[in-house]
Structure 1
Amino acid sequence: MKRALFIAGPTASGKSALSLRLAEDLNGVIINADSMQVYKGLRVITARPSEEDEAKAPHRLYGFLDGSEVCSAAFWAERAMEEITKAWQGDQTPIVIGGTGMYFKVLISGIAVIPDIPEDIRASVRERCASEGSEALHAELMPLDEATATRLAPGDSQRICRALEVVKATGKPISAWQLETKPGPMQRYDEDGALIKLVLDPPRDVLYDRCNRRFDLMLDEGAMDEVQALMERKLDPTLPVMRSLGVPQLMAYLKGGLPLEDAVEDAKMQTRRFAKRQLTWFRNQFGDWKRLPAQLSESEYRDFLNKKIKKAVD
């Protein structure tokens, strides 16, 4: 039977290290499921695997898009399914790893099939968001799609823009489209028991400490240079890449609007808050996934590998 490993977890929980160990032991192909690590030029600030780690095992869907593009969950799922299929064809074990829970949901459970949005409508909404702010668009969305507007924070510019684009283009709220969901490409494999689904679930204090220490390490390894290069491109500020963890704060520092110490502390705080939301989301949405501690000792890893994983993939 074809098998695949799915490894989810919050930022800084150790997903990359675990996936690399498993890939080396299982002849695996590591497939990225992180919505920021798909972009080029931001290896450090998005905590992509290093070039040395990528050389140890095949890595797919890392840094394959330009920052000027938007990677939807549906687009990612199509690419991920292609890579999973290639791995199976090569008698390798696909290991899908990341912290973007919606990517996993779409790959397994599916997503609503929404018509393409005309470019003029998309551009108009994005331009208004940049000039008027997401809060104004959120207020406009409320009477048009109350269910979605109530669920979204006024500062969630990407999702607010998307919801407003859909209702303007189709005359139908995105919440209504989402009730008409097409099954995901991995759903039948999940139903057949072919998926091994793991969530790294570290104690909150451990996770927060790792978030703080990792951001300091990012600065030492060149995160500021990456953000400087990104800022010089003058991209649309509503693009996902412009809101990657740490990017807005370091840009504010580089523009002279925020002292470095304040920028770093705010970036760390936002990272911790994001990790907390991820923990909550995975606990609420992935109830049937097996929980693992953030770090496994060598003996714990070997026991886990031999008893839980190898038997399933052999």
Structure 2
Amino acid sequence: MNDSLEGSRHLSDGRRVILIAGPTASGKSALALEIAQKLGGVIINADSMQLYEDLRIVSARPSIDEEALVPHRLYGILPASTPFSTGAWLRRAVDEIEAVRASGQVPVLVGGTGLYFKALTEGFADLPEIPETVRREARNLADREGVEGLKTRLLELGDTNASRTLQDPQRLARALEVLMATGEPLSIWQENHQSRPYLAPGETTRIVLAPPRAWLHNRIEQRAQLMMGPEGITEVRKLLERGLSTKLPAMRAIGVAEIGTYLSGENDIAETTYRLTVATRQYAKRQETWFRNQMPDWQRLDPSSEIDTAKLLS
């Protein structure tokens, strides 16, 4: 990990970095825009799906008009064919924060990927370089035998922690890659290679949006209807026409598979909209649980009520 992630280039002028997390459809982008306009800020993306240029509607990326109001960074910077790790985002985010501060502006980071914020404020163990032969072996096993096959292989090689705690095939395959490449279980490797936090608590204003459930569900329903509009459907159609692997992060974005069933004729608009709504609600619930458990000391704000940004930032 480069020097910037080891804490040697901390912010020095006393002005804070604004961090805004929250579940999908909670109004994070609107709050970030309001704050950035008031402070002369630059908005930096901390959402893994909004990195992809192919997913403006599906990921609810800021509109072109919104992006024109204040500078936005790390939005739509990757093709859907490119996977992107937390470590890769952290390096790019640190560079953007430093560039913004050097220009005399205020960095406003916003997104729903809690692990990004955790890496920035608590440190992060970036994964080692994995030889292509090892990566291919792990991915082939995932394709052939799925979750159970990966767990069995991890157990055979002595990683009882990953086989017991992980359920996602991508994360299990990553754990297997690290074990095969380094000889160390993923949890041990992370413990031994943890970087220092880039941002200390005193350098930041840390916000988690915590909306009432009914209010959030209503916004999620509106989001689903927008995704099922002509632009959203066209966006997914063009993405699917590229024939990319369904294991790529961009292809696993909520909306891609659901709208795909509409395009194939499997489901009608009403059923697809319902499935989108349910999947997004479930995702928002997982995000809320993660923020509650992993970021308990962050300031909670209710976006359904008017937020006094002047008081918030004083």
Q: Give the structure-2-normalised TM-score.
A: 0.90
Q: Find the aligned partners of 1:104 and 1:200 in 2 and give their Cα distance.
A: 14
**Residue deviations 1:30-59 (CA, integer Å, cap 9, x gap):** 000001100111100010000000000100
Instruction: Name 2:11's counterpart in structure 1.
Output: none
Amino acid at match of 2:186: I
SS in 1 for 2:228: helix
Once the two structures are TM-superposed, the CA of residue 181 in structure 1 deviates from its matched residue by 4.3
Q: What is the alpha-carbon distance in structure 2 between the residues aligned to residue 135 and residue 38 of structure 1?
A: 31
Q: CA separation in 1, counterparts of 2:151 and 2:258?
A: 23
Matched-pair contact (CA < 8 Å) for 1:12–1:207: yes
Which structure 2 residues correspond to residues 175-214 of structure 1 after superposition, within 5 A?
Answer: 175-187=187-199, 189-190=200-201, 193-214=202-223
**Corresponding position of 2:304:** 295
Q: Could you tell me which residue of structure 2 aligns to residue 308 of structure 1? A: 312
- Give the partner amino acid of 2:31: L
Q: Which amino acid aligns with 2:68?
A: A
Q: Which amino acid aligns with 2:166?
A: L
- Three-state SS of the structure 2 residue aligned to 1:222 is helix
Mapped to 1, the partners of 2:264 and 2:180 lie a distance apart of 35
In structure 2, what is the Cα distance between the partners aligned to 1:138 and 1:131?
13
Distance in structure 2 (CA, Å) of the matches to 1:59 and 1:296:
26
Given candidates 36, 40, 46, the residue that maps to 1:27 is 40
Q: Deviation per CA, 1:240-297: give whole Å up to 9, x if none.
A: 1110011112223323444443333222211111100111111111111111002342
What is the CA distance between 1:63 and its match in structure 2? Answer: 0.6
Which residue pairs with 1:271 in the alignment?
A: 280
Deviation at 1:180, TM superposition (A): 2.2
Secondary structure of 2:19's match?
strand
- C-alpha distance in 2 between matches for 1:237 and 1:149: 23
Provide TM-score, normalisation by structure 1. 0.90
| Residue-pair matches, total | 300
Supply the AA of the counterpart residue of 1:137: L
C-alpha spacing 1:226/1:124, structure 2 compared with 1 (3 Å): farther
Listed as ranges, the gaps of 5+ residues in structure 2 are 1-13
Give the CA RMSD over aligned residues. Answer: 1.8
Flag the 1:221–1:20 CA change in 2: closer, same or farther, 3 A: farther
Deviates more, 1:248-257 or 1:199-208: 248-257
Q: Work out the CA distance in 1 between the residues paired with 2:276 and 2:310.
A: 39
- Aligned twin of 2:179: 167
Change (3 A) 1:181 1:200: farther
Q: Is the 8 A contact 1:246 1:268 kept in 2?
A: no
Closer, same or farther in 2 for the Cα pair 1:139/1:12, shift >3 Å?
A: farther
Please point out which of 91, 116, 130 is paired with 2:143. 130
Give the C-alpha shift of residue 163 in structure 1.
1.2
In the alignment, is residue 233 of structure 1 matched against residue 255 of structure 2?
no
What SS class does the counterpart of residue 69 from structure 2 fall into?
A: coil
Q: Sort the Cα spacing of 1:180 and 1:272 in 2 relative to 1 into closer, same or farther, 3 A.
A: same
SS at match of 2:225: helix
Q: Which of 284, 287, 298 does residue 293 from structure 2 map onto? A: 284
- Cα shift at 1:222: 1.3
Q: Structure 2: how far apart are the matches of 1:273 and 1:71?
A: 23
Identity of aligned residues (%): 44
For the 8 Å contact 1:110–1:181, the answer to whether it is kept is no
CA 61–221 in structure 1, closer or farther in 2 if over 3 Å, else same: farther
Contact map agreement 1:41 1:63 (CA 8 A) in 2: yes
> Which residue does the alignment assign to 1:83?
96
C-alpha displacement at 1:142, in angstroms? 4.3
CA contact under 8 A between 2:228 and 2:273: conserved in structure 1?
Answer: no
Deviation, 1:223, is 1.2
Equivalent position amino acid for 1:34 in 2? D
Contact in 2 for aligned 1:40/1:63 (Cα 8 Å): yes
Change in CA separation of 1:2 and 1:205 when aligned onto 2, cut-off 3 Å: same
For 1:210 and 1:152, the matched residues in 2 are separated by 31
**In structure 2, do the counterparts of structure 1 residues 142 and 36 end up closer, same or farther at CA, with 3 Å as the change threshold?**
farther
